[in-house]
Structure 1
Amino acid sequence: MKSSWVVVAVAGLLSLAACERRDAATPTSTPEPTFQHRLSGDISGDYRPTGEGAIQAVASLFIGQDGAFTAWEAGSQASPPVILSLTEPQGEARVLPDAYVVTDDRMQMRGSAPGMGPVELSARIDQGALATARRNLGDQTPVVTGTVSVNGRRTPFTLSWWGGD
């Protein structure tokens, strides 16, 4: 009799522990957006697809200067420090950041645009290629490579620093 009571008690504790683990895994609220940059150099500029006639999902990526990031993170919503333009059948769609983490050599961004689902960008920034492109006033050197995901569909892209016309 005593052993069956112990079995029931142990089963009850295991059941309670399973419920606590399930509750801990279930988010209670949506996390706040993260806007964070850690830059030691200047990666600002307009980045466009590499090569002649390059057809990609990404039409351009604008990265602002350090001051634009600082202002955005302080609450100014005047001018986003990152703007992603995607190619769509109807033209281009501008994706503004809902969250980002930007460093000298990496960029993660989550954003949205009217009529689109969630957009996520993950990219690597090649500092050596950026320096070369700036010295050559915007050649076709690949500087930013990564993937963009729209509604869960991932597409690779390669961008060069654009020096203007």
Structure 2
Amino acid sequence: MRNTIVVTGLLLAALAGPAQAEVKDSAANGFTIENSQVVPVDAKTAWDALVNDVGRWWPKDHTWWGDATKLSIQPRAGGCFCERNGRQQAWHMTVTFVDPGQTLRMTGGLGPLQGMGLDGALEWRLAKAEGGTRITLWYRAGGYTPDDLRKFVPVVDKVQAQQLGGLADYLRAKAK
């Protein structure tokens, strides 16, 4: 029942979101999603915004307590992608790989996937591109659940596009 409520809520939130990311694959036990955008800044500027300004670009409606300023990323192995609202706290993902200006990898389950006991690897990849930096957001998640994970892919797909879009829009505004 709780999973149905969460999925319904996510579906409603995603309907107003940006275009879908690319679904690389999906199966009953997992999926891979990838999306990318080019932003008119160098990789250092993009990296700094990714790890230091997450509260300024992450969609607030995809936080536990509705306030993205409560988010932080510690860009070091073992670091926390966390949300802290006083005594209410969430460890969203663990930073597992850092190559400043190029790759940030985190593992864990985002949002309702965490509560379902699912796990994933999320990578932010930055690469030089014509006109600036290409930012690619890649997420592979899976694990055991009695639910068919293919039904979650459209929702996660749109939410990932919103997250990347938030960073890209923030960087575009910053470049003006």
> Shared topology, TM-score over 0.5?
no
| Structure (1/2) with the larger strand percentage | 1
TM-score by length of 1: 0.31
Larger Rg: 1
TM-score by length of 2: 0.29
| Structure (1/2) with the larger helix percentage | 2
